Structure 1
Amino acid sequence: MRVFNFSAGPATLPQPVLEQVQRELLDWHGIGSSLIEVSHRGPHFSAVRDEAEARLRQLLAIPDDYAVLFLQGGATLQFAQVAMNLLRGGSADYIVTGAWSQKAYREALRLAPALGGKVRLAGSTEESGFTRAPRADELDLDPNASYVHVCTNETIHGVEWLDLDAIAATGVPIVADMSSHLLSRPIDVRQFGLIYAGAQKNVGPAGVTIVIVRRDLINDPWVGTPSVMQYAAQDANQSMLNTPPTFAIYVANLVFAWLEAQGGVAAIETVNRRKAEKLYAAIDALPLYENRVEVPWRSRMNVPFRLRDESLNERFLHESDAAGLKYLKGHKMVGGMRASIYNAMPEEGVDALVAFLHDFAARHTA
């Protein structure tokens, strides 16, 4: 029996995709072996890789002058890789809205002296407990920066930030970590110079990292950048400068096909909005729970919440687990609970969680 998996990542995958992987694992399309046992340079995997790129381009309307790369190392490697490819001895702005953008900022700050560049903190909401994104008048943006880095959805703190017009107005290329909400709603790719995302939220299993980057930005990496970390080199070799994560790319292609079958990104956004509205409505209506993120910046993908009576935390987790609502414990940095409701989380899973919230509150509210 499948449970409702609210893990933040690696996260739940669409059941039809898992069933197809199961069917094809021993014999992919009649070749007598799985796809993950054949050469990454052979015709079978090459066709899948090309299909995955074509599908992703279609789903996000990615322009032709942007490279689509399937890399490794997770979003965490991108914290260094972005700076090594784009800083070019200049200055970069970082805006910190939670744990992941803070990690990206600290990594770039550590590397900047070796790269001959400078990294600036252009805005932060740490003082407010990372409960919102910064307002335009709180930003200190350098119009001459090489790029400005943001995390558009903070998986741990549950802050989603989409109105980047104040940043875009500077004309500086925006680099966005979209790991936990890529493909959950339409985006204008042209607003960004570079987008990166670990796959293990909405794209597929852990192991592949999506990078979408404007090609005119990647021709002058820092001289010490290893070739495998140079975006231009990976683009020239179709992400196969080294052996790519073939299984993760194969499954990602199936997820893209599943998303097409749902009606595409606009259609899945409608479902995601409805799921999030149901969950936040329950949290707000029941005095036992609270979500501390300011309403305009509440994430549709990652919903952290707390029990006002924290002595009930372990009982809540035990009972929800027994009810088939798995992995609701919050990140150790913030505590409490967290429900990650990515594309593959069926609406009935959110309905089941909402029903449990009401039932638990009825039994434990004085």
Structure 2
Amino acid sequence: MKKHNYSAGPCILPQEVFEKSAEAILNFNNSGLSILEISHRSKDFVAVMEEARALVLDLLGLTGKGYQALFLHGGASLEFLMTPYNLMTKAGKAAYLETGTWAVGAIKEAKAFGETVVVASSKADNFSHIPKQYTIPADADYFHCTSNNTIFGTQMKSFPETEIPMVCDMSSDIFSRVIDFSKFDLIYAGAQKNMGPAGVTLVVVKESVLGKTGRTIPNMLNLQQHIEKESMYNTPPVFAVYASLLTLQWLKNLGGIPAIEKINNAKAELLYAEIDRNPYFKGTAAKEDRSVMNATFLLEDESHTAIFDEMWKAAGISGLNGHRSVGGYRASMYNALPLESVQVLVDVMRDFETKISS
């Protein structure tokens, strides 16, 4: 039976990425060696790294605009502290928008480096919406936001105008929609949400914002050091970078971000229409802030949980349970999830309605 993978991360990737990755594990570039065993300094892998870094900037529309793309270790969570290390001055401060669990984590790390101002928060409402009215201090060293919140199913539909550097954690919606990425001075994203396997983190940074903190930064946490060493200051996660390159190539061949945005919107519209129509389900996020990537919803009557769970599992659906901290259901519709899989879930929800109503 075909599986329909709604996992929030590590998540679904294009089938051709699995196939090409599998081939490379056995024999990479007809070298007789596996991608798992080649030297990261070999000509073949250096070419992979160079193409991946260039393709990131190409897809984001940032080529030739003073940005560098890096593939690093540590997950997006390490960027929680690398961001203030590289951008917050010794006597300065940073401004943060608190919209979910990952924003809370980023704020906690920033506080260890200096004054950290939370300009707005939706915590009191269980992060069910994105704050709209807030003021960003003009004297802050940077402003940090999280574009999409996987746990609570909210997404920023627009971004503030500010003269200070803007940082964004785009772990769960990067490459999914058209944005003016030049608005941001630093973008980071764990690959395992929408770009590749777990084990590598993408960082895109405008070089002009670096080197101004007055801090002594450990080399492994210094973005300038990683730029100087062309994203290979230490041994990179070779396989994860390669699989990410394959995913980026797939996206480029599909038509890039404008093409995938249309597909993603169609998937989200199909599922949210059913959530709103079906009397046995209810969404958890404010409608104007609903995430295109992660749809969160509940049963109106939790006594029907066992029945619904049995039905979606029987249909080959996987990973639909909500995050352990909030419960309910979460349908993660990342780039590689086909519209067909969303239709299967919608059909199950309709069959469930018929079953309960009869």
TM-score range, shorter chain: over 0.9
Deviations 1:134-192, CA, capped at 9 Å, x for gaps: 112xx13201100011001001011110311xx32x31111100000000012212101
Partners of 2:213 and 2:309 lie apart in 1 by 47
**5+ residue gaps, structure 1:** none
Other structure's SS at 1:48 match:
helix
Q: Which residue of 1 aligns with 2:141?
A: 146
CA spacing shift, 1:55–1:129, aligned 2, 3 Å: same
1:58 correspondence with 2:58: yes
2:196 matches 1:204? yes
Q: Which residue of 2 aligns with 1:158?
A: 153
Unaligned runs of 5+ in 2: none
Partner of 1:70: 71
Q: Which moved more, 1:53-62 or 1:279-288?
A: 53-62
Contact 2:89 2:215 in 1 (8 A): no
Alignment of 1:105-184 (within 5 A): 105-109=107-111, 111-112=112-113, 117-136=114-133, 139-164=134-159, 167-168=160-161, 170-184=162-176
What does the per-residue CA deviation read over 1:208-254, in whole Å, with 9 as the maximum and x for residues that have no partner? 10001110112135634320110000000011111001100000000
8 Å CA contact 1:179–1:196 kept in 2: the answer is yes
Q: Of residues 234, 238, 246 in structure 1, which corresponds to 2:230? A: 238
| Structure 2: distance between partners of 1:78 and 1:72 | 10
Say if 1:124 and 1:44 are closer, same or farther in 2 by CA, change over 3 A: same
For residues 313 and 71 of structure 1, the distance between their equivalents in structure 2, rounded to whole angstroms, comes to 41
User: Residues 1-366 of structure 1: matches in 2 within 5 Å?
Assistant: 1-64=1-64, 65-89=66-90, 90-109=92-111, 111-112=112-113, 117-136=114-133, 139-164=134-159, 167-168=160-161, 170-221=162-213, 223-365=215-357
| Cα separation, partners in 2 of 1:222 and 1:340, compared to 1, 3 Å | farther
Q: Secondary structure at the match of 2:331?
A: strand
Structure 1 position 45, deviation (Å): 0.2
Q: Is the Cα–Cα contact under 8 Å of residues 52 and 245 in structure 2 kept in the other structure? A: yes
CA RMSD of aligned residues (A): 1.3
Q: Which amino acid counterpart does residue 132 of structure 1 have in structure 2?
A: H
Distance 1:315 1:75 in 2: 37
Partners of 1:3 and 1:52 in 2: CA distance: 29
Are the equivalent residues in 2 in contact too, given 1:97–1:126 (CA < 8 A)?
A: yes
Paired-residue identity, %: 41
Q: Which amino acid aligns with 2:104?
A: Q
TM-score under structure 1 length normalisation: 0.94
Greater Cα offset, 33-42 or 43-52? 33-42
Matched residues in 2 for 1:140 and 1:51: separation?
39
Deviations 1:30-60 (A, max 9, x none): 1001123111111010001111112111111
SS in 1 for 2:215: coil
Q: 2:102 is matched by which residue type in structure 1?
A: W
- Residues 158 and 304, structure 1, Cα contact 8 Å, conserved in 2: yes
**Counterpart residue type for residue 22 of structure 2:** Q
